[in-house]
Amino acid sequence: MKNFNIIKKFAKAAFGLLALVSVSCEDIIDLTPYNNVSEASAFSTPSLVALSVTGVYNAAQLGYYDAAYRGYPFGAAFIEQGDCRGEDAVNVGTFYQLTYTATYSTTTANNVWMWSDSYRLINRCNIIIEGVKKAGETGVITSAKALEYEAEARFLRALTYHELLIHFARPYKHTPDASHPGVPYHETPFTTAGAIEQGLKVGRSSVADVYSKILTDLEFAETNLPAKADRTGNLKITRANKGAAVAVKTRIYMHLGQFDKVKTEAAKFLTGGTLAGVYSLTTDPAGPFTAPYNNTESIFGLESSASNNPGVNAALASQYNRRQLVAISPIIWRNSSWLSDDKRRAESTFVVTTSGGAKFTNKYKDGTNYTDPSPVIRYAEVLLNLAEAYARTNDVANGLTYLNMVRNRSLANAATQAYKVTDFADNVALLAKILDERRIEFVLEGRRWSDISRLQKDPYFPINGIPAKIANAVPAGSLYTLGTPYSGALGVATIPYDDFRFLWPIPQAEINANPILAEQQNPGW
């Protein structure tokens, strides 16, 4: 597909709010290969309404990076940024250097475009919400279809606000009531100069307020989205459904530390729950990363095609596999919880390709057409969220059950290698293994930064800021020798939690245009 450029009519608007202007009187939410239509027409027929909703997913997948597409926020960028902010990946060159070493600034492109494209996507969601409500009220589409489309937009809006929070705001538990600054929250579509002027007066909502609205959106989405069975083909994974809304709720409650609610939501996937039997782990850990991707484990991800993908400078198979710009770090490779004969170490067929002695992921395989989808959430995460929730509420037996469900499928001999209750002195010892398993299972899926953020000041396994990392370069093969944990040189020093670089700064252009945000910049920037 070819993507039409957005017409930015309000040139004096703030950068972030300018990015929000995704539909004016001359264009329609980046929909391709269709011609531009007016805003008034965008919701005038059922087919144009459906096209508008599809366009929001396209925006989530591609994003803008100057005149190119780099997969902001959910096509590839959130994975690449999430990995390179953590210690389980190694930036082998200079492509992700500023992210990897936390040497970014208020004008660093990766940070700026994550902010800009996230708010652009949020505005598209808000336009859809307003447009489908009117289309439902006027009979252009049925009221049920209007609710379904609104639910899709609200699901994507919730995902996007959460991604903004973990990069630009301190974690939920930074203050006892999460009253510290979050990000600006917008529910009004910005399609006129007047609306933009009002938007320029909006400052940062508290973290508590933003999370409350995220959960409200996800509750609405769960109620009004179709079931997975109501979708066909890859749309079962690449379009939001009830299971996706519930799965993301388990993730959000993990960040809030509300573990009983994690258990309540995850139980919907289990026997007797509303989603019982809908999802299951694939037999082999390679299953979620094997075409055609319509598998039982993947819950939600963004679809790519040969003509519609984040391109050579962002597509996951390009960056992580063909060009080998990001390696698996010896820090996680030599973690003692990762057994030497674990199937997730298998060369070529699953997680690993060895080049020059270094280990690279093979989760993203199509280095020619870049058709690998970006995995946003899969059932393995729901199960590990549930395992951790039980461990944190002192239920070793149930916590172990769900940990083993994920881990056992990758063991060479589960009968002898599976964890047993007697392996753990208490729930804290179990929790340690669950946290290790998250790092192993989701290596180079972008999940590491999310966990680093939420584990700051954890009562059992606190992470103090951004962990130290191996210096950027192709790691020598000798660094991957198994037998002992990695204890070699760390060329990128720890950045303590209280250091201003733990957070990304609000982009300078946004600060320049919005005097309220200028007073609310993250301290130190």
SS3 track for 262-331:
HHHHHHHHCCCCCCCCCCCCCCCCCHHHCCCCCCCCEEEEECCECCECCCCCCCHHHHHHHCCCEEECHH
The Cα-based distances of 487 to 142, 184, 361, 483, 493 in angstroms read: 61, 42, 22, 12, 14
**Cα–Cα distance for residue pair 452/434, rounded to 1 Å:** 14
Query: What pLDDT does residue 192 have?
Result: 79
**What mean pLDDT is predicted for residues 88-116?**
96
Q: What φ, ψ does residue 396 adopt, rounded to 5°?
A: -70, -40
**Model confidence at 435: pLDDT above 90:** yes
**Model confidence at 39: pLDDT above 80:** no
Query: What pLDDT does residue 162 have?
Result: 98
CATH topology of domain 15-86+104-258+502-518: 1.25.40
- Picking from 437, 449, 448, the residue whose alpha carbon sits closest to that of residue 342 is 437
Q: How many residues are recorded in the chain?
A: 525
What's the pLDDT tens digit per position in 376-430?
A: 999 999 999 999 999 999 999 999 999 999 999 999 999 999 999 999 999 999 9
Predicted confidence band of residue 351 (pLDDT cuts 50, 70, 90): confident
Tokens for 424, please give them. 């753990």
**Model confidence at 35: pLDDT above 80:** no
Residues 6+ apart with CB under 8 A from 139: none
Is there a shared CATH topology between the 15-86+104-258+502-518 domain and the 316-500 domain?
Answer: yes
**What mean pLDDT is predicted for residues 501-521?**
95
Q: Decide: residue 418, CB within 10 A, 0-12 exposed, 13-18 middle, 19+ buried.
A: middle
Which of 5-9, 132-136, 309-313 is predicted least confidently?
A: 5-9
**pLDDT over 90 percentage in the chain:** 85
Tokens for 408, please give them. 């056992």
**Model confidence at 6: pLDDT above 50:** no
Whole-number CA gyration radius for the chain = 22
pTM: 0.93
3-state secondary structure of 68: strand
Q: Decide: residue 310, CB within 10 A, 0-12 exposed, 13-18 middle, 19+ buried.
A: buried
Do 211 and 256 contact (CB within 8 A), yes or no?
Answer: yes
Do 466 and 498 contact (CB within 8 A), yes or no?
Answer: no
Beta strand extents in 370-483 (DSSP E only):
374-378
**Model confidence at 86: pLDDT above 60:** yes
Look-up of token digits 């399609």: 191
**Cα–Cα distance for residue pair 44/138, rounded to 1 Å:** 10
Domain range 316-500, its CATH number among 1.25.40.900, 1.20.1250.20, 2.40.30.110, 1.10.1060.10 = 1.25.40.900
For the chain, the structural domain boundaries read 15-86+104-258+502-518, 316-500
What is the sign, positive or negative, of the torsion defined by CA atoms of 294, 298, 300, 305? negative
Which of 64-68, 139-143, 336-340 is predicted least confidently?
A: 64-68
Tokens for 404, please give them. 């083993």
Helix, strand, coil % (nearest 5) of the chain? 45, 10, 45
Q: In terms of pLDDT, which residue wins out, 11 or 477?
A: 477
**What mean pLDDT is predicted for residues 199-212?**
93
Work out the mean pLDDT of the chain and round it to a whole number: 91
The most confident of the ranges 12-21, 192-201, 456-465 is 456-465
